[in-house]
Chains A and B, each alone.
Chain A
Amino acid sequence: MAKPVRMNLKEAVAQIPDGAMLTFSGFTIWRRPMAAVYEMIRQGKKDLHLVEVNGGTHSDLLIGAGCVKIWESCWIGHELFGKIGANLARKAEAGEVIIEDYSHVQILYRMAAGSMGLPYLPTYASMGTDMLNPAYDNLKTAGLRDGSNPKIPKKKYEIVSDPFYGGELLHMPAANPDWCIAHVQMVGEEGTVRVEGQLYSDSEAIKASDNVIIVAEQVVSEDYIRREPTRNLISGHQVSCIVEQPWGAHPTGCFGCYETDGSFIQNFFKSTRSQEGLDAWVKEWIHDIPDYETYLERIGITRLEQLRANPAFGYSTTIKRGTR
């Protein structure tokens, strides 16, 4: 793979074709590539196939906006700020989106196997649950496990005998998404990625994917980021393109940079529980504005400053969070 190309968000997102299999950085409502998700909706992406270790505000929005056909994961919601992914629930209950359920480890191991170049990984996780119920293998029910799509394995899982120590365990097939979009704190001009705080499943998601878009709070010189290689997560040869987009994970949080914007997410959750509400929200925050800079202007400098992380802790100490 050649050195990554620097581009703007519109150009980076334009590379993702309709129907692509896609994954993301982050965890639930932390470090999600929201600016890229807004841009995908603006560009009207269709039939996306999401395979993610867990869902959150980013994927619930993308699903609500009608960009997604298949969602393979284990959880979706907005943590304290909205108990379920209401858009996924609505679309699934209407038969418009296919859900394939896993446990956290099952889907994580799919991604990890993909990142290792292995066809599958064994695990004991979540044996004896309905995730393994053949009646609930929804991709099979939909006729999508016929081998025609090389990204969809012919079986959801396999229970196998342990050839070495006896007993049985579960094999989970590798996932290799076409694209990963990761929002990180810092990237070098040659694509070296630095992630601060909890790493979630970023390393597995990036390394499993065929193409990787890194959206960073800051692009810095390679010389700078290589002074402390032990702090870096991914080398540039595993990155396709890099984009600089400060505040690009808002309203999700970004360790060391800014806090999760809980009230914004809460408002999203409350106002998008119906399709009409979601459509109005998308019009107001995405289609009626030209780009992410305008979005940030609308959030406003006062709010952004409240969210800004205190460098001593990596989170905001000024934002009001609870009832006291």
Chain B
Amino acid sequence: MSRDTTLAKIGEFKPIDLLAVAAAREVTDGDVVFAGTGLPMLAIGLAQLTTAPTAVCIYEAGSVDGRPISLPTSVGDARCIYQASVASGLFDVFNQLQRGVVDLAFLGGAEVDKYGNVNTTGMGKYGIIPEKRLTGSGGNSDINGLARKTVFIMVQEKRRFREKVDFVTSPGWRIPKWPSGEMVPKKEVYNRAFRGGPEAVISNMGVFRFDENGEMYLDTYHPGCTPQQILENCSFDLNISRVSGETKAPTLGELDLLYKTIDPEGIFLP
């Protein structure tokens, strides 16, 4: 099927469209992908219809390689298992993750630090009486710990891109080694289960990657944004010296797939 490969201009796409498309580009054909609710579902759906037709999608509630014809609203949704190879449960799919089967996972978070540690648990002071409680880890932490590559999709704000997150829910490239709490490279903690870690963070302003030391740098800035604006929306000393250019806009064909084939009901794409 030929698709219109003309790049959409500013004003012809929404920020959420660019997030979905940029995330879809992270999928390599043949990847086994763990995807969560929302944007990750759009990204894996788009990738399977374009550049990664043999990618396999696993949802953490227990569906394996489903071929939904109607977009699920969560990973527990009945739609996830339409034409799936297996409908099992958490024990099966998380065991596969621990076994090393998962190549790529898409995740979200409330805060991220420069090593890719992510917080989805609570803001402010934590302890027996938390200052502000969020949802908690869910599979975020396990998936980031044990998949080969993870991609975070997040809102860019100064208070979300932080030197140190309030609670390390999900492990980045440098993490505490308990019980002492000393910060060490992830490899030292995960030893034989170490396979990788955060590959990219995609925000509504840019795409970030991690260098040899596991520190975040700006790779591309989205159309309409500048590296300087991104620096202003980040509260740590972000490296912008390696920026490679502007993030490629969605093509008209990709937008068509997103709105007409993947989410025709307007569940995640308003």
Mark A residues whose CB is within 8 Å of B. Answer: 26-30, 53-55, 73-77, 79-80, 83-85, 88-89, 92-95, 98-99, 101-106, 108, 112, 123-136, 138, 141-142, 159, 162, 165-169, 197-204, 253, 255-256, 259-260, 262, 309, 313-315, 317, 320-324
Across the interface, which residues of A come within 8 angstroms of B179, CB to CB?
132, 134, 159
Across the A-B interface, how many residue pairs have beta carbons closer than 8 Å?
242
Contact A198 B76 (CB under 8 A): yes
Q: Does B126 contact A (CB under 8 A)?
A: yes
Contact B141 A255 (CB under 8 A): no
Contact A322 B133 (CB under 8 A): no
Q: How large is the interface on B (under 10, 10 to 19, 20 to 34, 35 or more residues)?
A: 35 or more
Residue in chain A with minimal CB distance to B126: A136
Contact A54 B145 (CB under 8 A): no
Across the interface, which residues of B come within 8 angstroms of A88, CB to CB?
133
Given that A85-B135, A124-B190 are known contacts, is A129 also in contact with B89, CB under 8 Å in the complex? Answer: no
Given that A126-B171, A315-B70 are known contacts, is A203 also in contact with B135, CB under 8 Å in the complex? Answer: no
Q: Does B204 contact A (CB under 8 A)?
A: no
Contact B171 A199 (CB under 8 A): no
Shortest distance between the CB of B10 and any CB in chain A (Å): 23
Across the A-B interface, give the 4 residue pairs with the lowest CB-CB distance, nearest first.
A128-B175, A167-B191, A322-B266, A199-B89
Residue in chain B with minimal CB distance to A313: B82
Q: Does B225 contact A (CB under 8 A)?
A: no
Residue in chain B with minimal CB distance to A106: B142
A-B contact pairs, 9 of them (CB 8 A): A55-B136, A79-B76, A89-B133, A89-B134, A92-B129, A103-B142, A125-B98, A126-B142, A199-B88
Across the interface, which residues of A come within 8 angstroms of B220, CB to CB?
none
Shortest distance between the CB of A40 and any CB in chain B (Å): 22
Q: What is the bound-complex CA distance between A309 and B216, given in angstroms?
A: 46
Interface core residue of B61, B79, B80, B126 (most chain A CB under 10 Å): B61
Q: What is the bound-complex CA distance between A284 and B186, given in angstroms?
A: 51
Across the interface, which residues of B come within 8 angstroms of A256, CB to CB?
78
Contact B63 A323 (CB under 8 A): no
Mark B residues whose CB is within 8 Å of A. Answer: 37-38, 59-63, 70, 73-82, 87-91, 94, 97-98, 121, 126-142, 145-146, 167-171, 175-179, 181, 186, 189-193, 263-268, 270
Contact B128 A198 (CB under 8 A): no
Contact A103 B137 (CB under 8 A): yes
The dominant DSSP class at the A interface is loop
Contact B61 A80 (CB under 8 A): no
Interface core residue of A105, A108, A313 (most chain B CB under 10 Å): A105
Across the interface, which residues of A come within 8 angstroms of B146, CB to CB?
124-125
Across the interface, which residues of A come within 8 angstroms of B138, CB to CB?
54, 74-75, 103-104
- Identify which of A74, A124, A127, A197 contacts B136 (C-beta below 8 A): A74
Given that A101-B121, A102-B137, A130-B167 are known contacts, is A322 also in contact with B74, CB under 8 Å in the complex? Answer: no
Contact B193 A124 (CB under 8 A): yes
Given that A134-B179, A197-B87, A314-B81 are known contacts, is A168 also in contact with B137, CB under 8 Å in the complex? Answer: no
Contact B91 A203 (CB under 8 A): yes
- Identify which of A29, A98, A169, A315 contacts B128 (C-beta below 8 A): A98
Residue in chain B with minimal CB distance to A135: B127
Given that A79-B73, A199-B88 are known contacts, is A104 also in contact with B141, CB under 8 Å in the complex? Answer: yes
Residue in chain A with minimal CB distance to B166: A130
Given that A80-B267, A104-B137 are known contacts, is A127 also in contact with B142, CB under 8 Å in the complex? Answer: no
Contact B191 A83 (CB under 8 A): no
Q: What is the bound-complex CA distance between A86 and B27, given in angstroms?
A: 35
Contact A133 B181 (CB under 8 A): yes
Contact B78 A93 (CB under 8 A): no
Across the interface, which residues of B come within 8 angstroms of A93, CB to CB?
129-133
Shortest distance between the CB of A272 and any CB in chain B (Å): 15
Q: What is the bound-complex CA distance between A243 and B18, given in angstroms?
A: 49
Contact A128 B133 (CB under 8 A): no
- Identify which of B38, B139, B186, B192 contacts A167 (C-beta below 8 A): B192
Shortest distance between the CB of B112 and any CB in chain A (Å): 14
Across the interface, which residues of A come within 8 angstroms of B145, CB to CB?
103, 124-129
Known contacts A105-B94, A202-B89, A322-B265; 16 additional CB pairs below 8 A are A27-B61, A92-B129, A108-B94, A123-B98, A124-B145, A128-B145, A128-B176, A130-B167, A131-B141, A132-B179, A133-B176, A141-B128, A198-B80, A262-B73, A315-B70, A315-B78
Across the interface, which residues of B come within 8 angstroms of A309, CB to CB?
78
Across the interface, which residues of A come within 8 angstroms of B98, CB to CB?
105, 123-125
Across the interface, which residues of B come within 8 angstroms of A29, CB to CB?
74, 76
Shortest distance between the CB of A216 and any CB in chain B (Å): 18
Contact A130 B81 (CB under 8 A): no
Shortest distance between the CB of B114 and any CB in chain A (Å): 16
Contact A133 B81 (CB under 8 A): no
Residue in chain A with minimal CB distance to B74: A79
